Amino acid sequence: MSVVFQRDACRGALFLLLATCAGGHAMAARPMITDDARVVDAKACQVESWARRNQGGGSEFWAQPACNFTGNLEVTVGGAWTREDGVTRNSARVLQGKTLFRPLESNGWGWGLALGALRDPHGGSGRNWYGYVPASFSFFDDRFVLHANVGWQRDQGTRRSHATWGLGSETRLTERSWLVAETFGAADGKPHYQMGVRYWLVPDRVQVDTTYGNRLGGGERWISVGLRLLSPAFLP
C-alpha cells in the first residue's frame, strides 16, 4: 500500500512540476521551474533536456523543444520518460504556448501569459489543463533577477482545480555562471524548493546546469542535470 501511495505522490508531483514549467530565453530557463517574462528569440528554437533522480530510486528523462515562429509566440512540445523498477515508459506529454505583453528589459520588468495541456499517455484520465502569468524584475543591470508566477491547473483525474505559484531568483556569479534558487507549489499542498548552478559552455548557445530540490519538510528529494541548446534565427 505504501509503495502505491509513494508512486501516486511522485506522479502528482511530476505533473505539478511540469504544469508550472516553461522554456524561457536567457533568464529563468532550465533549471528553474518558475518561469520568466521572456521567450525564445524570433524565428529561433531551443531544446531543454534533463535527467532527474528522485528519492526512492526512480528516474525521469525530459526533453522540451520550443520555437518562436511569429516573434511573440513560443510553442513548446515535449515530454518525459520515467524509469521505475527496471521499466521505462513515456509518462508525460506537454503542449504549451507562451506570449508576452511586456518583455523583460534590463533594470525593468515584464509579464506575459502561458497556456498548456499535460497528459500521461498511460494514465487514462485525459489532459490536465493549466495557465499562469509570469512576471520578472531586473536589478543591477541583470545581475539579480526576480521572477514570480501565479497560475491555475485543472486535474482531470480528480476533477479538481488548483492555484499554482512560484517565486525564484537568479544571481550572476561570473560572466558565464548563475546561482538559482526558488520555491513553488500549489495552494493545497506543501511547497517545493530547488537551488543550483547553471553555466554557459558557449554563451547564448550551449548551457549546462545541476540542481538539488525537495519538498518543504522533506520526503521528495531529487537531483537533476540538464543541457540546453539554443539556435540562431533560421525559421522562415
Q: Answer yes or no: is pLDDT of 204 > 90.
A: yes
Beta bridge partners of 214: 193
- Confidence band, pLDDT 50/70/90 cuts, at residue 156: confident
pTM here? 0.86
Q: Answer yes or no: is pLDDT of 12 > 90.
A: no
Q: Answer yes or no: is pLDDT of 3 > 50.
A: no
The three cell numbers of residue 208 are 549546462
Residues 6+ apart with CB under 8 A from 218: none
CATH number of 2-230: 2.40.160.40
Q: Where are the alpha helices (DSSP H) in the chain?
A: 2-19
Q: What is the pLDDT of residues 164-203, one digit of tens each?
A: 999 999 999 999 999 999 999 987 789 999 999 999 999 9
Closest CA to 101 of 75, 133, 125, 77: 133
